[in-house]
Structure 1
Amino acid sequence: MKTLSFTLGLLLLTACCCNAMPKAVGINSAPLTCCFTFYSRSLPSKLVFSITETDSSCPKKAFIVQTAKGKQICYSRTSKWAEGIFNQTEGSGAKQH
């Protein structure tokens, strides 16, 4: 009986002290935006408010373009236009990303 109580107590202590949490359950984790369909036409660069890459946990790598009007548009990671805008804004610091 003592061994069972000790084992259960140790298990409970381990569970309480363990600070490893899955990424999706983390307290400070922001909701992820992943892309599953992609826009293929380029936009005038003046309409681009910001551009970001999707999170590494997303199944498809992509860029998310936010327009000046607040619309989010997904572009494939292989889109030369989106890659060019991303590289341009990343180096200049002029646009948020």
Structure 2
Amino acid sequence: MPRGVVVAVTAQALVLAYGGLVHMTQIAGEWPPYPWAPAWLAAYFTSLTVLDPLAAWLLLDQRRAGLHLAVWVDGCGRRPRMPRSTRLPGEVLSWP
């Protein structure tokens, strides 16, 4: 595997492992975790306690499933961005 790919995969795995630790700390600190969040978002964040480290391990084990899981985990919490040409004028100011 090219060195750049190894560096990128390792960096992503470290970020995912760190994220898993953060979610474990949140769960250990208070119950229910994320009291400020709607139930669906709290459930998503809580599931990352398992999914983040799993994706990190699968990535480091060079499995395709790790790449798919990492992309899914990373992309679930984000609103998809529309190209600037399809945005309404108010959306340009309200969403970076």
How high is the TM-score relative to the length of structure 2? 0.23
Select the structure that is richer in helix: 2
Select the structure that is richer in strand: 1
Higher relative contact order (CA 8 A, sep 6+): 2
